[in-house]
Amino acid sequence: MSSLLIRGARHLLTGEAGSGMRHTGPRHDIRVADGVVQALGALEPLPGERVIDASGCVVYPGWVNTHHHLFQSLLKGIPAGIDSALVPWLAAVPVAWRPEIDHEERFRLAVRIGLVELMRSGCTTVADHQYHLYPGIGFDPSAVVFDEAQRLGLRVVLCRGGQTLARPLTDEAAPPSARPVTLDAFLQSVADDVSRFHDAGPRSMRRVVSAITTPNWSCRPEELRVMAREARALGIHLHSHLSETYDYVRWAREAHDCSPMQFVERHGWTGPDVWFAHMVHLSDEELRLCAATGTGIAHCPQSNARLGSGIARIPEALELGVPVGLAVDGAASNEAADMISEAHACWLMHRADPRGGERLRAKQSAAPGRAQRARSASQPGGDASTMQVEEVVHIGTAGGARMMGLSGVGTLAVGMAADIAVYDLDDPRCFGLHDEALAPVVAGGRPRLKALVVDGRVVLEDDRIPGLDLTVLRHQADETVRAMQAARG
């Protein structure tokens, strides 16, 4: 198989944490063959080798989005939910509008829009929490997600959601698409998806995860242990939503006299094979429980801000060693559902969070001078009490991949998957930067992609996806939104 050489980049970020993030040396050329990185450094083209000229570019590992709901890509900015908190938003947007997406053609279009949007930000792996599962569903959503991802060349982790119990707060007048399935039907759907699609390899293009929509409201507590046992027997991971709002804390306290993390721990839903989206409202004890068990967090800062849920305690989670990934969540609660927007917002949001300053002051008064040394040990100019740019890149790439068990994905190193975003800094927003390596995160806005490579295959070049006409996609989206609005009067 012929190889590919990405040559002449100004900087290369590896995805590794701390001082290993920056590839050092005078040259950052990268050779790709057989789906993996073959060599890094100063490389001369081989006879017949395809060369991508990356001069003026910076190279990142492809971003890893650890939580999404692709079907929501046709539900952006719905006025009834634009300024709502989680529960009224759920009722007004995803639950109310799901019947309009319950046609294969619309579902497929939504998935395509979401994947294309992510690709154009440099994302190469997408975890889709797909909870279209109800009695009598007339199409095969899992097959559609994998099919669209395969056409575009992306890696997908399909988190098979659904519910065995209706949620009283949002499902009272729910359409059939929000009705529960039996536990057996849920387990069977997960097992079927595993046998049809799942590949357990370290740089798998297709993973399946057991992912009831919430452990609190989507099933009976006693069913959680059965789901966990079945998933582990299949050798797959577990995923769900948890502690997105304070409602989760209140529910666990009132219904079970414990914290949400204690609740899931009691039912077997902690461990290095489990990650939860959001985790905004965690106590110190819950953070320590995540660290002790290796339970991960898909951090969704933009969605958490959009719904007014709060800011997750990610800098503290990282300090304790909790596995963390970055995620956009569904586009119905985050109209900027791409990884560049998410990374930029993540960096700024944590730096604006007053709790970071409080932690730094507490550390300095406890051991004067120590905080300063901790900073210089990790990043020059960084502040160990809040989020650093390189940390955002780490959780958005290697951190997320490791959390989901994709051990061959997420870093740019020899032998690892060749998932590579080559950003061209040819925009005035990047002119004048003293550290261009950080431009994709700090400059805000989407940088142009010179190339995007997934598992060694070029899937986007010169900012274009071969075979995809964005004008057509826009037209299809416009027509569909109009038809959906007309159907709802």
- Residues lying near Zn ion in the complex (CB under 5 A) are found at 277, 329
Residue indicated by tokens 């489990």: 274
When the beta carbons of 74 and 277 are compared against Zn ion, the nearer one is 277
When the beta carbons of 403 and 460 are compared against Zn ion, the nearer one is 403
Q: Quote the least distance from Cβ 37 to Zn ion, whole Å.
A: 32
When the beta carbons of 273 and 329 are compared against Zn ion, the nearer one is 329
Output 231-235 pairs: Cβ under 8 A, ≥24 positions apart. 231/190, 231/273, 232/273, 234/190, 234/191, 234/194, 234/198, 234/210, 235/200
Q: In this structure, are strands 36-41 and 29-33 parallel, antiparallel, or unpaired?
A: antiparallel
Q: Quote the least distance from Cβ 197 to Zn ion, whole Å.
A: 21
Residue indicated by tokens 């908190």: 85
Q: What are the C-alpha distances in Å from 489 to residues 98, 186, 296, 330, 486?
A: 15, 33, 42, 24, 5
Q: Quote the least distance from Cβ 375 to Zn ion, whole Å.
A: 34
CB-CB contact of 211 with 161 (8 Å): yes
Measured distance between the N- and C-terminal CA atoms of the chain, rounded to whole angstroms: 55
d(CA 457, CA 410): 16
CA atoms within 13 A on the CB side of 430: 19
When the beta carbons of 70 and 277 are compared against Zn ion, the nearer one is 277
Q: Quote the least distance from Cβ 213 to Zn ion, whole Å.
A: 8
Q: Quote the least distance from Cβ 233 to Zn ion, whole Å.
A: 26
**Nearest residue to 67 (alpha-carbon basis) of 159, 184, 170:** 159
Q: Quote the least distance from Cβ 84 to Zn ion, whole Å.
A: 15
When the beta carbons of 156 and 438 are compared against Zn ion, the nearer one is 156
The rounded Cα 470 to chain-centroid distance in angstroms is: 23
Q: Quote the least distance from Cβ 67 to Zn ion, whole Å.
A: 6
Q: Quote the least distance from Cβ 131 to Zn ion, whole Å.
A: 9
Q: Quote the least distance from Cβ 151 to Zn ion, whole Å.
A: 24
CB-CB contact of 249 with 260 (8 Å): yes
When the beta carbons of 66 and 386 are compared against Zn ion, the nearer one is 66
Grouping H, G, I as helix, E, B as strand and the rest as coil, residue 424 is strand
When the beta carbons of 94 and 440 are compared against Zn ion, the nearer one is 94
User: What is the chain's length?
Assistant: 489
CB-CB contact of 318 with 279 (8 Å): no
The rounded Cα 171 to chain-centroid distance in angstroms is: 27
Q: Which residue has its beta carbon closest to Zn ion?
A: 329
When the beta carbons of 277 and 280 are compared against Zn ion, the nearer one is 277
When the beta carbons of 65 and 385 are compared against Zn ion, the nearer one is 65
When the beta carbons of 181 and 331 are compared against Zn ion, the nearer one is 331
d(CA 390, CA 347): 9
What b/e readout covers 188-215, taking b as 16+ CB neighbours within 10 angstroms? Answer: ebbbebbeebbeeeebbbbbbbbbbbbb
Taking 3-state DSSP, the helix, strand and coil percentages for the chain, each rounded to the nearest 5, stand at 45, 20, 40
Q: Quote the least distance from Cβ 374 to Zn ion, whole Å.
A: 34
